[in-house]
Amino acid sequence: MERKIGLVALAVVFGASLLAGCARPAAGPASAPAAETPQAVNMRITTDTPDVMPQGVAATWFGEELARRIPGSEVKVFNASSLYNNADSLEAMKAGTLEACWATTSKISGIIPEVLSIRMPALFSNYAQALLIPKTDLGEYLENAAAEQGFVWLNWGVLSPYIGVGAKDRILKTADWQGRKVRCYEKALQTLQTELVGASPIVMPWGEFVPSVQSGVVDAGYTSLSSWGPVKETVPYFTCFGIVPDYYAFLVAEEWWNGLSPVTQKVVAEVLAEACDMQQKSQYSSDMKKLAELATTDPTKPGVYLLAAEELEVYKELWMDKVREKAIETIGGGAEQAIALAIATSEELAGK
């Protein structure tokens, strides 16, 4: 009997050990899922500025840095309209033959007319306001307007907001414009402003400006403080008509963007945010340096002359109503909302 009990006990022990040997090993700590790898990006980007200007430098850096952070990527940057100008770039994006354009907003009003709302003269008064506009409801409105056209407005660079006219002599009073031929880079509002002061507008690319001055095709030209600096030997007098914000809108084709994985989009957006921050800081530094070196309070002398409030008031009275009407006509549907939002934004930012 004792032997029988012992055999049974032995069988139980043996069976238990056998089951233990066949049992699945206890699970260890759960391992984290492997991080998703961004996909290689093939991307062509156009700008209308030279390699040496703040936007051109930042665009080149963006292409190189994105290729470094996402190995296998091929990012080609075409500065100075070397592949397409801004307007043609947007058409190519719609056609699916280009991925991105870091576009000057004033040059794409034919495709996204809502950008004209920030081109109204004398709405804004200082640089800080120009930097804040992208973060306002007006900035969101413009991004949504781009989306309606099939573009994703990923981020903003800033063009020098000191917009004026460069000439061989000082253009100060409205009478100084009479009979002049003036280079314009924006077809809708800038040409109208030129006509209202008795001059003849001629729309032309920036690259043609200096030869055109030298040959007498034009006598003067609208540009920004940033662009005027390199050509000041040809047109030594630059008169600034207040703050007129203009931006570099980094636009990508919506269909192309939606084809990227979320983690890839995140890396692209992060690198772009750094590039835009670099561009804005460099642009601001460049503008402040030029003002420090070249500003004058004597309009009879060459250099940068900023119109005083009372001098600017004459132009505001001449331009404001007619330019507003033209903007509404050009923008079309929703124009009243766009202009009202621009004016509300200027009031919101007043004093900042």
Residue 220: left if φ>0, alpha if ψ -120 to 50, beta else—which one?
beta
pLDDT in tens, the chain (352 residues): 333 333 333 333 334 333 343 333 344 455 555 578 999 999 999 999 989 999 999 999 999 999 999 999 999 999 999 999 999 999 999 999 999 999 999 999 999 999 999 988 878 889 999 999 999 999 999 999 999 999 999 999 999 999 999 999 999 999 999 999 999 998 889 999 999 999 999 999 888 999 999 999 999 999 999 899 999 999 999 999 888 999 999 999 999 999 999 999 999 999 999 999 999 999 999 999 999 999 999 999 999 999 998 999 999 999 989 998 999 999 988 888 899 999 999 999 987 7
Cα 260 off chain centre by? 21
Domain ranges of the chain: 42-162+244-294
What is the CATH number that goes with domain 42-162+244-294?
3.40.190.170
Given 3-state DSSP classes, what are the helix, strand and coil percentages for the chain, each rounded to the nearest 5? Answer: 50, 20, 30
Q: Name the packing angle between helices 335-349 and 137-148 (round to 10°).
A: 150
* Residue 100 backbone phi and psi in degrees, to 5: -150, 155
Both tokens of residue 37? 């790898």
For 200, half-sphere exposure in the C-beta direction (CA atoms, 13 angstrom radius) is: 7
The answer to whether the beta carbons of residues 76 and 94 sit under 8 Å apart is: no
Question: What whole-number distance in Å separates Cα of residue 208 and Cα of residue 193?
Answer: 21
Predicted TM-score (pTM) of this structure: 0.84
